[in-house]
């Protein structure tokens, strides 16, 4: 989908999230009992000895791109907005003034396009201090990305490049409350006539109240003229990596146990024009040597989140990279389709793959080693383009074949993914296809629950590279989570066809979700993880991902159900209210566990009679992980981050026949130990 939230009038799901304060339902003390089946109650029969399909251990992963301030003002640890002064304001894209910066005291600032730091950062901020003293300093201020999140007893690293005309004296870097009170301050001496990098640490006091209503200032105490570039501020990063990532967001993602990362897009790989694609070679090395570029989601990308940062993100969370290469098509329709025209882009993709998996004695493997990572990364999948069904000229057939042949010739071990239906690339059968399933409303997702049941098993396997149920705004509610769980159950049921799946988008900065698109922090509603400059949380949909990923089985077991009740959507359509999948997880030296995953859209508690055959002995108790909400419209928020979250409890009375009562509006996993 392109630019869904380009302007407010195009917003499809501009529905305010219900603000009703409702508590999570108290779980009934006993979920299972060997009681007889109530008349008409649903019955679930499981053949524990009949395997339907094997499950790819890499089924669940993450899809990511620069959208919703996902990296800038999100995962990427930089706290200064527009550190290079190259950012441009929204649609205007005329960097005539240093956006997101303002002056403090008697100072004047201007972009100086003649005074560059280097060819990448090819302009600077010229700062004229007209009058200043220690009591009345003058300089510049930056508000961060809708604030700067500060925590007590924490070290923040300031760095910048500067040069001056004459003696401007020491500069003062400070973290300041938005109201003006200084939190912590440090001084830097030695600004001379040539560019030099300066760095200092600022440590907040132990009594500081965590807050995001803070700004950064850099001031002088005497008059003069100086130039600044790459003014940066980092807090702690995950695993203390330099130029690293925000720890709370990494920890939330780690909780999902993702096995792969699809990057760098999405639309972000393509760009609005060829010139605005993700040019990976320009994202390597020293961040002060990266020019940055405009993202198709209408804001500036510093490219601090570059190729190696993506790969280290994979390494730190135990994920395999799933690289999406630019395939000669941009969002504005610009495209190339002959082998000759595409040759430079094919080479760009081959070099990119070499950067990831090449040994250090290859050209781009050597570059990776120089960048600090001699060891090649393990990678199995490469996707060619993104959503090329939007290219109505039909050029993808040629483009795909050209990229496929060139990549396969050099890397026969790689599985190559097409972005269109198999019959749209007759010139070259893909190894896999990437399907995108965005359901605009919970009922629409229920229409997708049989998408793969009838797919010919001889057709290429499927990567569901982007999918989500849109219900709730700005983030998914419990209804969305139930439909998501029903969808995931349908994918697991078809695990012989669907090898991988990733929800999209992953991240959203929720600081400013309303207003002109130029000013918004979120371009696409309904995402897994929300945050501002200080806090973060997982949505109910996030917890569905977590529950399914944490309980990934090895095989799908045969199961069937009868007497399932229906629910009726707002548009009068009727759908089964209970969806499920049964899997088995083996354990070394043990018979393993049977996992019943369910999504119940029923508005009341629902007893289900479970009948297990093909298994001799079961543990009498089982573990139930369940998430429920009495209000299906409710969701989580920055202030109530775990209002809806899974809880775990022990269930008694497990036998070859037992009754499990599913709470109204719930998603859960019952894990039964086989003995
Ligand atoms: O996930 C948001 C967007 O949806 C992606 O950038 C694009 O691939 C799809 O249309």
49-98 pLDDT per residue, tens: 999 999 999 999 999 999 999 999 999 999 999 999 999 755 545 557 79
Residue minimizing CA distance to atom 4 of ligand 1:
1
Which segments of 260-342 are extended strands (E)? 260-263, 293-295, 299-301, 320-325
**Ramachandran bin of 266, using left for φ above 0, alpha for ψ from -120 to 50, beta for the remaining angles:** left
Residue 1 pLDDT more than 60?
no
What pLDDT score was predicted for residue 88? Answer: 77
**Which is the closest atom of ligand 1 to the Cα of 65?**
6
**Mean pLDDT (whole number) for 556-569:** 97
Rounded distance between C-alpha atoms, residue 206 and residue 186, angstroms: 17
Residue 505 CA to ligand 1 center (angstroms) comes to 7
Whole-prediction pTM: 0.94
Whether the CB of 505 sits within 6 Å of ligand 1? yes
For residues 357-370, average pLDDT: 98
pLDDT tens-digit series, residues 618-628:
999 999 999 99
What is the Å distance from ligand 1's center to 265 Cα?
Answer: 8
- Please give the distance, rounded to the nearest whole angstrom, from the Cα atom of residue 268 to the centre of ligand 1: 8
Crossing angle for the helix pair 339-357 and 307-317, to the nearest 10 degrees = 40
What separation in Å is there between the alpha carbon of 371 and the centre of ligand 1? 30
450 contacts: CB under 8 Å, gap ≥ 6: 490
Instruction: Give yes or no for residue 20 having a pLDDT over 60.
Output: no
Residues in a beta bridge with 649: 624
Structure confidence at residue 515 as a pLDDT band (50, 70, 90)? confident
From atom 7 of ligand 1, which residue's Cα is the shortest distance away? Answer: 266
- Cβ–ligand 1 distance for 65 under 6 Å, the answer yes
Q: Is 442 in the pocket of ligand 1 (CB under 6 A)?
A: no
Question: Measured in Å, how far apart are the chain's first and last C-alpha atoms?
Answer: 48
Mutate which of 68, 267, 278, 322 to test ligand 1's pocket (most atoms within 8 Å of Cβ)? 267
Task: Indicate if the pLDDT at residue 509 is higher than 80.
Answer: yes
The mean pLDDT of the chain is 93
pLDDT at 33 exceeding the cut of 50: no
Confidence of residue 630 (pLDDT cuts 50, 70, 90): very high
- The CB density around residue 647, as the number of other CB atoms within 10 Å, is 14
Among all chains, which residue has been given the structure tokens 């973060």? 536
Q: In what order do the strands lie in the sheet with 536-538?
A: 507-509, 529-531, 536-538
1 CA closest ligand 1 atom index = 10
CA 560/CA 558 separation, integer angstroms:
7
Of 548, 542, 549, nearest to 481 (Cα)? Answer: 542
Report the pLDDT averaged over residues 487-510.
98
Q: Does the structure show a pLDDT above 50 at 3?
A: no
Q: Please name the residue whose Cα sits nearest to atom 5 of ligand 1.
A: 266
> Under a CB-based contact definition with an 8 Å cutoff, are residues 17 and 477 in contact?
yes
pLDDT above 70 covers a percentage of the chain that reads 93
Mean pLDDT of 133-152: 97
Q: Which residue has the higher pLDDT, 96 or 597?
A: 597
Ligand 1 neighbour 4 (Cβ under 6 A)? no
């Amino acid at each position: 989908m392109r630019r869904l939230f380009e302007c407010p009038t195009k917003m499809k799901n501009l529905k305010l999230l219900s603000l009703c304060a409702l508590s999570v339902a108290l779980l009934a003390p006993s979920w299972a009992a060997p009681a007889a089946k109530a008349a008409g109650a649903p019955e679930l029969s499981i053949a524990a000895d009949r395997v339907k399909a094997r499950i790819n251990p890499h089924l669940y992963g993450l899809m990511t791109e620069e959208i919703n301030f996902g990296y800038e003002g999100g995962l990427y640890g930089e706290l200064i907005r527009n550190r290079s002064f190259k950012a441009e304001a929204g649609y205007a894209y005329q960097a005539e003034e240093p956006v997101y910066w303002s002056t403090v005291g008697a100072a004047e600032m201007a972009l100086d396009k003649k005074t560059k730091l280097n060819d990448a950062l090819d302009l600077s901020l010229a700062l004229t201090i007209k009058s200043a003293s220690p009591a009345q300093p003058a300089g510049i201020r930056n508000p961060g990305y809708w604030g700067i999140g500060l925590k007590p007893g924490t070290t923040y690293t300031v760095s910048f490049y500067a040069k001056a005309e004459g003696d401007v004296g020491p500069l003062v870097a400070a973290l300041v409350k938005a109201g003006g009170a200084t939190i912590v301050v440090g001084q830097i001496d030695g600004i001379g006539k040539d560019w030099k990098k300066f760095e200092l640490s600022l440590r907040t006091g132990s009594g500081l109240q965590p807050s995001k209503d803070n700004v950064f200032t850099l001031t002088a105490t005497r008059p003069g003229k100086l130039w600044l570039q790459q003014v940066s501020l980092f807090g702690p990063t995950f695993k203390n990596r330099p130029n690293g990532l925000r720890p709370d967001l990494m920890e939330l993602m780690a909780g999902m146990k993702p096995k792969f990362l699809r990057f760098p897009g999405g639309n972000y790989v393509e760009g609005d024009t060829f010139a605005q694609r993700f040019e990976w070679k320009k994202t390597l090395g020293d961040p002060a040597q990266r020019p940055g570029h405009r993202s198709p989601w209408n804001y500036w990308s510093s490219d601090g989140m570059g190729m190696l940062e993506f790969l280290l993100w994979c390494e730190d969370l135990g994920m395999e990279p799933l690289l999406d290469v630019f395939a000669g098509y941009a969002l504005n329709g610009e495209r190339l389709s002959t082998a000759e025209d595409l040759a430079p882009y094919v080479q760009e993709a081959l070099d990119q793959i070499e950067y990831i998996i090449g040994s250090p004695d290859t050209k781009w493997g050597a570059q990776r080693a120089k960048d600090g990572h001699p060891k090649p990364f393990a990678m199995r999948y490469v996707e060619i383009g993104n959503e090329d069904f939007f290219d109505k000229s039909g050029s993808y057939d040629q483009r795909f074949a050209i990229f496929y042949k060139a990549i396969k010739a050099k890397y026969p071990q790689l599985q190559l993914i097409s972005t269109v239906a198999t019959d749209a690339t007759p010139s070259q059968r893909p190894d896999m296809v990437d399907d995108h399933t965005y359901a605009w409303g919970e009922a629409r997702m229920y229409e997708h629950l049989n998408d793969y049941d009838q797919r010919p098993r001889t057709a290429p396997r499927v990567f569901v590279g982007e999918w989500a149920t849109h219900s709730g705004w700005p983030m998914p509610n419990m209804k969305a989570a139930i439909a998501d769980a029903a969808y995931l159950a349908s994918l697991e049921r078809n695990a012989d066809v669907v090898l991988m799946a990733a929800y999209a988008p992953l991240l959203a900065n929720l600081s400013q979700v309303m207003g002109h698109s130029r000013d918004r922090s979120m371009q696409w509603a309904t995402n897994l993880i929300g945050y501002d400059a200080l806090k973060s949380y997982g949505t109910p949909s996030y917890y569905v991902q977590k529950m399914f990923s944490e309980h990934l089985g090895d095989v799908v077991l045969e199961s069937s159900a009868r007497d399932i009740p229906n629910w009726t959507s707002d548009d009068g359509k009727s759908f089964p209210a209970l969806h499920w999948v049964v899997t088995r997880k083996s354990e070394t030296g043990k018979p393993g566990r049977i996992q019943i995953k369910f999504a119940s859209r029923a508005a009341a508690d629902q007893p289900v009679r479970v009948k297990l055959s093909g298994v001799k002995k079961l543990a009498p108790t089982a573990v139930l992980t369940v998430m429920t909400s009495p209000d299906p419209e409710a969701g989580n928020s920055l202030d109530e981050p775990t209002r809806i979250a899974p809880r775990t409890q022990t269930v008694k009375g497990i036998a070859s026949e037992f009754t499990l009562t599913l709470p109204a509006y719930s998603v859960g996993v019952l894990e039964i130990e086989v003995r």
